[in-house]
Amino acid sequence: MTTAHRCDERNKSFQKQLGFNELRQDRENSAVQLRKQKRIQHLNKKRANFQADVLISEKMFFPPSLIEPQLLNFYPILNAEITPGIRLDHLVHIIKECQDSEIMVLALGSLKNVISKNREFPFGLVCNEELIRVLMQVLNSKNTQLIQQALWCVINFFADAPGNILDKFIDQGIIPSLCEIMKTNPSQDIIENCIWALGNLIGEGGKYRILTESFFLWRDFLHLAVSDNLSIRKVSVWALVNYVNNKPILSLTISTEILQILSSGLMSEDYEILKETCWICYFVTNNHNELVQYLFTYDYITRLEELLRNNNVKIQYPAAKIFGNISICGNEYCENILQRGFLQILGPLLTHPDNKMKKEVLFIFSNFLAGSKDMVLRILNHPCYKALFEYINNENLTLKKEAFWALSNAASCESVEVLIKLQELKLFPLLLQGFFHLDVNLLRSILDSLLNIFKVFRSYYEWDNWVNFVEDFSNYDGFDKIESLLSHPNHKIMEKAEELMRYKESRYSDIEYS
């Protein structure tokens, strides 16, 4: 067949497959798909920009039950029967234009109700510069009722509004205004609401905490946290939790002062104060480990041990987090609490119903097992070791991982006495189960602990005992499992596996392995 003939046949074939009608249908289908894609893009863009700044032009309705009833007497249009509810833009307009303080109180109270009851409140449609300016004018007035209602609105805005809305409030000077009201207003309720508003703002991130630092807000919170007014004391301690929990980390000087003044809250009988004080102690000791010494100096350890026995996990958990900080601060502190009988408290918590609590308990055990020989043996000789290492077979991957770390840390101890104890408890085979874990750092730790076991036993055992140990290791497929790692993509893991495989042949010749 000639080249020209082949081209002619190819053209005929093409025309046969895609005739005029087919081509038109194909174009129509493509156009339909394109319109669908554009529609989806339009909807996604609309959803993404729902909180963006736009004019209040949409009819946003909310149930009439959220409006202050007296307000309807002044503005019957709010409850017009022709609408399915009350229009939010009408309410906002009233707030912006109102000159009567009585009506303003009712309107702000209604707005507060709408914000607090609507989880999908359209902040971007409502919170423009004009409304924020009106709220700022109210906050800077002398009318206590107006200030209180405006504060409630601000509290709710700061609790849920996106960052661009918060920035608008900041640009209008909300932080200095709230600080001034908090310091000078005689009303305890208004002071409390200022703390709530600032606490919500700081809780949105370190950026907002930094903006308050020039006002030394932490000192005001600290002063109010020891107030005679229980309600103010509660909210101040809560606000301080947000303050210390954000980056950048507070200086050691500020953290020390906060801990010194508020640590007495650990003795409080009030649930809220006790819970928040525990969190403050956790955050400051987590940021500055040297502050752990303060808890020992003033014997808050006894109280923290009591809190671990509390029936409320919201108290137990932050208390356990504090002990987690202690467990990474050195053998001196760990040995101190272990000698106090801490395992009698910690052991039963391994069966706690809350997984977060169990994870923290396993973390503490893991750190203890990375400590001195005496610390490791104290745990291995305690009945709690069984419950601890049973988590290696747990279905929860997070708990399983913590248990592997604990066993790996224990097996990394260079004490022959510890390793013999692990061998007696038949815990070595459990280490091999960790070879299938995806965490590279954990896998390297397990291989390091196995290398430690082989090196220590090779130096300690007589020849016959050494051969028996290697044979036992082979019998539970130890070397076969190690061999599966020789092709691991991580170079360090592959090298450690190769080093371990050398011990497989050592039972046949008396070779020293470094």
Token reading at 373: 């020989």
For residue 323, what pLDDT is reported? Answer: 98
Each residue's pLDDT tens digit, 106-155:
999 988 988 888 777 888 877 888 889 999 999 999 999 999 999 999 99
DSSP string, 400-430: HHHHHHHHHHHHT---HHHHHHHHHTT-HHH
Mean pLDDT computed over every residue of the chain: 86
For 26-30, 169-173, 259-263, which range has the lowest pLDDT when averaged over its residues?
26-30
pLDDT range class, residue 79, cuts 50, 70, 90: low
Q: Which residues, at least 6 apart from 186, have a Cβ–Cβ distance to it below 8 Å?
A: none
Each residue's pLDDT tens digit, 45-66:
433 333 333 333 344 677 777 8
Cα separation, 394 vs 392, in Å, equals 6
Say yes or no to pLDDT of 313 above 70: yes
When comparing pLDDT for 31 and 136, which is higher?
Answer: 136
For residue 63, what pLDDT is reported? Answer: 78
Cα separation, 323 vs 372, in Å, equals 18
Closest residue by Cα to residue 363 from 393, 401, 318: 401
Q: Which long-range contacts (CB under 8 A, 24 or more apart) does 233-238 make?
A: 233/273, 234/270, 234/272, 234/273, 234/276, 235/192, 235/195, 235/196, 235/199, 236/195, 237/262, 237/265, 237/272, 237/273, 237/276, 237/277, 237/280, 238/199, 238/272, 238/276
Each residue's pLDDT tens digit, 193-223:
999 999 999 999 999 999 998 999 999 999 9
Q: Which residues, at least 6 apart from 452, have a Cβ–Cβ distance to it below 8 Å?
A: 411, 412, 413, 414, 419
Say yes or no to pLDDT of 513 above 50: no
When comparing pLDDT for 339 and 437, which is higher?
Answer: 339
For 27-41, 105-119, 316-330, 364-378, which range has the lowest pLDDT when averaged over its residues?
27-41
Query: Which of 195-199, 432-436, 467-471 has maximum average pLDDT?
Result: 195-199
DSSP string, 286-309: HH-GGGHHHHHHTTHHHHHHHHHT
Query: What is the number of other CB atoms lying within 10 angstroms of the CB of residue 240?
Result: 29
* Helix residue spans in 128-246 (DSSP H): 129-139, 144-160, 163-171, 174-184, 188-202, 206-212, 217-224, 230-244
DSSP 62: E
Please give the C-alpha separations between residue 154 and each of 110, 158, 501, in angstroms, as whole numbers: 13, 6, 66
Residue with tokens 């000639």: 2
Say yes or no to pLDDT of 339 above 80: yes
Cα 156 vs. chain centroid, distance in angstroms? 22
Q: Which residues, at least 6 apart from 83, have a Cβ–Cβ distance to it below 8 Å?
A: 59, 61
**86-87 and 61-62 strand pairing:** antiparallel
Three-state secondary-structure class, residue 61: strand
Cα separation, 390 vs 38, in Å, equals 55
For residue 42, what pLDDT is reported? Answer: 43
For residue 447, what pLDDT is reported? Answer: 94
For 72-76, 184-188, 315-319, 358-362, which range has the lowest pLDDT when averaged over its residues?
72-76
For 32-41, 356-365, 495-504, which range has the lowest pLDDT when averaged over its residues?
32-41
Please give the C-alpha separations between residue 431 and each of 186, 392, 393, 416, 490, in angstroms, as whole numbers: 65, 9, 11, 18, 19
For residue 71, what pLDDT is reported? Answer: 85
* Residue environment code for 168-193, b if the CB has 16+ CB neighbours within 10 A, otherwise e: bbeebebbebbbebbeebeeeebbbb
Token reading at 428: 């070595």
Say yes or no to pLDDT of 349 above 60: yes
Three-state secondary-structure class, residue 249: coil
For 74-88, 148-162, 405-419, 465-479, which range has the lowest pLDDT when averaged over its residues?
74-88
Identity of the amino acid at 196: W
pLDDT range class, residue 16, cuts 50, 70, 90: very low
DSSP 250: P
> For the residues 336-357, what does the mean pLDDT come to?
96
Query: What is the number of other CB atoms lying within 10 angstroms of the CB of residue 78?
Result: 19
**CATH assignment of 51-172, among 3.40.630.10, 2.40.37.10, 2.60.120.10, 1.25.10.10:** 1.25.10.10
The answer to whether 71 and 103 have CB atoms below 8 angstroms apart is yes
Token reading at 269: 């009988």
Each residue's pLDDT tens digit, 478-512:
899 999 999 999 999 999 999 999 888 766 555 44
Say yes or no to pLDDT of 341 above 60: yes
Torsion sign across C-alpha atoms 105, 106, 111, 115: positive
Closest residue by Cα to residue 105 from 140, 68, 60, 146: 146
Domain boundaries, the chain: 51-172
Percent of the chain at pLDDT > 70 equals 85
For residue 13, what pLDDT is reported? Answer: 45
Q: How many helices (H) and strands (E) does the chain have?
A: 31, 2
When comparing pLDDT for 409 and 509, which is higher?
Answer: 409
For residue 514, what pLDDT is reported? Answer: 42
For residue 117, what pLDDT is reported? Answer: 82
The answer to whether 141 and 147 have CB atoms below 8 angstroms apart is yes
For residue 28, what pLDDT is reported? Answer: 55
For residue 90, what pLDDT is reported? Answer: 80
Closest residue by Cα to residue 359 from 405, 311, 314: 405
DSSP 434: G
For 31-40, 96-105, 138-147, 456-465, which range has the lowest pLDDT when averaged over its residues?
31-40
> For the residues 408-418, what does the mean pLDDT come to?
95
Identity of the amino acid at 492: K
